[in-house]
Amino acid sequence: NMVQSINHWALASDFIEDSNNTYKATSIADLLFGNNGLDTYQETIATSWLIHWKLAGEARKTTTWYWLFNKLTNPILEKEFLIKNLFSFAEKLQSKTSLTTLRRDLDCCLRSYVPSEGNVTPEELSESVLGDLGILRQISRGKYEFVRGEKDSLPQGIFVYALLKFWEMHSRFSGQESLSFSAIAHEDRSPGRVFKLDEASIAERLSQLEDFTQGKLIWTDSQGIRTVSRRDNMINPDAILRLAYE
């Protein structure tokens, strides 16, 4: 029902958390929607990009989003191909989810970015809540493609926040003081993959890191070495997130 749906998406977007069977607002929810919040009525595209990151990058409760934006590299995404491959992915995870449920979940995911096919009502159009990101488009009936390259509407604060969360989440990198360009651009859950950025636009954003973070993160691009280094291990992703709304 509606209450369960709201609860699911609030958890998936990291706006509420379950603490001993009691739900409470997260620090991000307080930052955005609390008293004097940065985006009280969810009107800015920064929040849309943040939600996309939470669903496809951190992906606590949204396996389909994670799979679509991290595991697929095909230039053209056909609906039936997607369903078959999502089912195979679910089987590898030993999930007993039915094909019907996966089809419904995939439809929900796709409609988040593009309107429903056919005669679209205003209600259906409103379902494409992340459509303004321009990261996925429908090219014909049942066929989609990612829009790769620079995303002018993606705030640097959201990009750097995602970079820090990726660094924190990934067991291979979480204890390291530096992160390679290849990882940032191509690893699962990386900003490059989740935001569908090309290498040139990623490098341009990384070149601004030192100024943007006041020296807490340093980009090196010299003699074949391309890395981001941390000078401050206590850098706070939520503090960086605030910069996306300034």
- Summarize the confidence of residues 153-162 as an average pLDDT: 98
Report the share of the chain in percent with pLDDT over 90.
Answer: 83
Residue of 120 and 92 predicted with greater confidence? 92
- Summarize the confidence of residues 109-126 as an average pLDDT: 69
- Summarize the confidence of residues 99-106 as an average pLDDT: 94
* Among candidate residues 54, 62, 41, 69, the one with its CA nearest the CA of residue 13: 54
Count of residues in the chain: 246
User: 99 to each of 32, 56, 87, 91, 148, how far by Cα in Å?
Assistant: 37, 21, 7, 11, 29
DSSP assignment of 45-66, as one string?
Answer: HHHHHHHHHIIIII-SS-HHHH
- Summarize the confidence of residues 48-75 as an average pLDDT: 96
pLDDT digits (tens, 9 = 90+) for 14-47: 999 988 888 999 999 999 999 999 999 999 999 9
Residue of 246 and 122 predicted with greater confidence? 246
Of 70-84, 166-180, 209-223, the one with minimum mean pLDDT is: 166-180
Of 93-102, 148-157, 235-244, the one with minimum mean pLDDT is: 93-102
Question: What is the structure's pLDDT at 232?
Answer: 86
Return the number of other C-beta atoms located less than 10 Å from residue 197's C-beta: 24
> Is the predicted pLDDT of residue 50 greater than 70, yes or no?
yes
Question: What is the structure's pLDDT at 124?
Answer: 52
* Among candidate residues 93, 22, 25, 36, the one with its CA nearest the CA of residue 59: 93
CA–CA dist 129, 114 (Å, integer): 9
User: 39 to each of 7, 36, 84, 107, 176, how far by Cα in Å?
Assistant: 20, 9, 39, 28, 34
- The model's pTM is 0.93
Question: What is the structure's pLDDT at 127?
Answer: 59
Question: What is the structure's pLDDT at 120?
Answer: 54
Band the pLDDT of 118: cuts 50, 70, 90.
Answer: low
Residue 18 main-chain phi, psi, to 5 deg = -95, 115
Helix, strand and coil percent figures for the chain, each rounded to 5? 50, 15, 35
The two tokens of residue 46 are 């920064």
CA–CA dist 19, 180 (Å, integer): 36
CA–CA dist 14, 180 (Å, integer): 27
- Name the average pLDDT for the chain: 92
Return the number of other C-beta atoms located less than 10 Å from residue 179's C-beta: 23
Question: What is the structure's pLDDT at 194?
Answer: 98
Question: What is the structure's pLDDT at 119?
Answer: 52
